[in-house]
Amino acid sequence: MGKKLFSTRKWKEYLKQRQEYEIQKRNRRNKRGGRAGRPSLAREIAAKNARRRFHLLRAPTEFSIIQNAPGVIAFLTALEYYSQQSNVTIDLSEVTLITTDAVAALVATLKRIPGGFRGNLPQDSLAQEILIQSGFFHHVKSVQPLPQVLQGLITQEQSKKVQPDLAAHLIHVGTARIHGSKRPCQPAYRVLIESMNNTHNHAAKEQHGEQTWWATVYADVQRKTVCYTFVDTGVGIFRSVRLKGIRKIYRGVTRLVGVKTDANILRDMLQGKIESSTGVSYRGKGLPAIYRHAEAGRIKSLVIIANGVYANVSKDEYINLDTEFRGTLLYWET
């Protein structure tokens, strides 16, 4: 009797309808984000952030890494710390001086912190204009209408290869605003390419997870100057595996002949005095190539922040910082 029931046409149609119903039910559940009643990961994170309280964090009045490295780096470090436990209200209202290197570093930090954030604009009219014109609000949502034509652009790494087209585009954006038409600038192009190449070579050798970079341009029309920033958000020069051995050697030299610090190591790297992990001199490549452009005057105002070192290369100033920057930042002008 049971055998006959399971072989009937009516029973087979019932099974087919039941199967189709289960498939439709599963598809609806997947669209809602997994198991029945369970939200998607994105909605789950948004809901968690909505329940968090906001911590107020005030930016330093001089929001510029090239001019106030200790203050801005401490602010970015605090932003990452508080975002682990709460949302953050970023108070920029008292900022009276802002430069686009700090804006680029802020964007890079906001894109990797886990919590939500909100903020305000500087009350100072010039600082407010620079923040808006920098391209900051292409990456951070604004509640007010913004101008369509900007003086700056902030771009994120788009592939794991060096991107010549992007480097050329950044230069064209800057030169068009200064001169009224796009112009090439070979020194700025070479520095951008060397920076991208450094990041990719470094990422290939390190085992610290995925790295990314941010490249920016800003046309300072008043000074008729194009300003560039490159931020590598990886472990940074002094946290790399390759430099651990070099730092040990320098510490040994310190005990014998005097002070040798990370600031000295960076100066020696730039001058091509430190060899690569393969034993081949870096002279003519990477940081030494960038250094030579600055020495020859092809680029101006070169500043490098590498972990705990601040280097105003154009002024031959190398300083050890109390608070470390996460990664590496280069700033230069043409």
pLDDT digits 0-9 by tens, 159-217 = 778 899 999 999 999 999 999 999 999 999 999 999 998 876 655 454 444 568 999 99
Kindly state whether residue 172 falls inside one of the protein's structural domains: no
Q: Would you call 87 helix, strand, or coil by DSSP?
A: strand
Kindly state whether residue 266 falls inside one of the protein's structural domains: no
Contacts of 239 (CB under 8 A, 6+ apart): 208, 307
Kindly state whether residue 291 falls inside one of the protein's structural domains: no
Q: Which domain holds residue 90?
A: 47-139
- Among the listed residues 66, 121, 74, the one whose alpha carbon sits nearest the alpha carbon of residue 99: 66
The token pair that represents 282 in the structure block: 């870096």
The token pair that represents 64 in the structure block: 């510029």
Kindly state whether residue 102 falls inside one of the protein's structural domains: yes
pLDDT confidence of residue 250? 56
Kindly state whether residue 63 falls inside one of the protein's structural domains: yes
pLDDT confidence of residue 204? 47
Helix (DSSP H) and strand (DSSP E) numbers for the chain = 11, 12
pLDDT confidence of residue 146? 74
Where residue 117 sits, what CATH number does that domain have? Answer: 3.30.750
Q: Would you call 241 helix, strand, or coil by DSSP?
A: helix
Dihedral pair phi/psi, residue 104, rounded to 5°: -60, -45
Distance CA 95, CA 97 (A): 6
Kindly state whether residue 34 falls inside one of the protein's structural domains: no
133-141 long-range contacts (CB < 8 A, ≥24 apart) are 133/218, 134/100, 134/103, 134/216, 134/218, 135/216, 135/218, 136/103, 136/106, 136/107, 139/107, 139/110, 139/111, 140/107, 140/110
Q: Which residues of the chain have pLDDT under 50?
A: 1-3, 5, 34-36, 204, 206-209, 241, 254-258, 277-284
pLDDT confidence of residue 119? 94
Kindly state whether residue 161 falls inside one of the protein's structural domains: no
Q: In what order do the strands lie in the sheet with 152-156?
A: 152-156, 213-220, 225-232, 328-333, 300-306, 309-312, 317-320
Classify 216 in phi/psi space as left (phi over 0), alpha (psi -120 to 50) or beta.
beta
Distance CA 329, CA 2 (A): 77
Kindly state whether residue 70 falls inside one of the protein's structural domains: yes
Domain count of the chain? 1
pLDDT confidence of residue 285? 72
Amino acid at 249: I
- Among the listed residues 65, 71, 123, 66, the one whose alpha carbon sits nearest the alpha carbon of residue 93: 123
